[in-house]
Amino acid sequence: MSVKDNLKNIQENIIAACSKANRNAEEIKIIAVTKYVSIDRAIEAVEAGVTHLGENRDDGLLSKWEELKDKPTWHFIGSLQTRKVKNVIDKVDYIHSLDRLSLAKEINKRATRTINCLVQVNVSGEESKHGMEPEAVCDFVKQLEGCPNIHVAGLMTMAPFTEDESMIRDCFRRLKNLQLEVKNLKLDFASCNELSMGMSNDYRLAIEEGATMVRIGTALVGQESQEVK
């Protein structure tokens, strides 16, 4: 399937999920996750009208950035090693994987402008998942006052690995509640308007539960090859 056809399909599903939840579909940003596909496929996505691209590794981001430069808005969605911050900092608009103070300090130090960061939260508690414990998020956000180059744009999570819809919904709902707690801190460096949750298999549920950013790889651009990272 072409990216264009996939995109049309996804947009229709988003409109349906929004009307179910009484939301405006214009609130939702579709991030095309291009980590499994070639540069050509990423270009195809941008030509099809995708305006946000996401990558989870520094080398994948850099190779695609070389081609597309600032045409799309760039999202770094994978766990980010502190020593790799300098490779991506001037290329990315959003970092979805802020999960520790040492990383915040490095982002703050290397940034030459404000970087929109989303705090990654391990809501499900699965050991394999990155992100901080929900209980720690508000204190962590307060500590970011000392990092003037960071704006806390929102929160991000990954749903538990399960077919159980109610467990997935519960995870998304808990992130939404946590977002309200952070907003209630009323910190000018933490508007926290974005909720990055939902991937190919669960973006409809995520939107029903309040997602503003969905990170879609397989259902949008496919998976071309295992070798392409």
Ligand X SMILES: *Cc1c(COP(=O)(O)O)cnc(C)c1O
* Distance from C-alpha of 188 to C-alpha of 20, rounded to nearest angstrom: 32
* Binding characters for ligand X, 66-85, by CB under 6 A (x = yes): -----------xx-------
Tokens standing for residue 26: 């214009």
* Binding characters for ligand X, 27-46, by CB under 6 A (x = yes): ------x-x-----------
Bridge-partner residues for 155, per DSSP? Answer: 119, 195
Tokens standing for residue 40: 């050509």
Per CB under 6 A, 13 contacts ligand X = no
Give me the least distance between CB of 22 and ligand X, in Å please. Answer: 25
For residues 204 and 196, the answer to whether their CB atoms sit within 8 Å is: no
Give me the least distance between CB of 145 and ligand X, in Å please. Answer: 27
Instruction: Pick the closer one to ligand X by CB: 23 or 35.
Output: 35
**Residue 153 is inside which H or E element, if any?**
strand 150-156
The one-letter code for the residue type at 169 is R
Per CB under 6 A, 108 contacts ligand X = no
Q: Which of residues 148-207 bind ligand X (CB under 6 A)?
A: 158, 199-200
Per CB under 6 A, 215 contacts ligand X = yes
* Distance from C-alpha of 9 to C-alpha of 32, rounded to nearest angstrom: 14
Instruction: Give the binding site for ligand X (CB under 6 A).
Output: 33, 35, 56, 77-78, 158, 199-200, 215-219
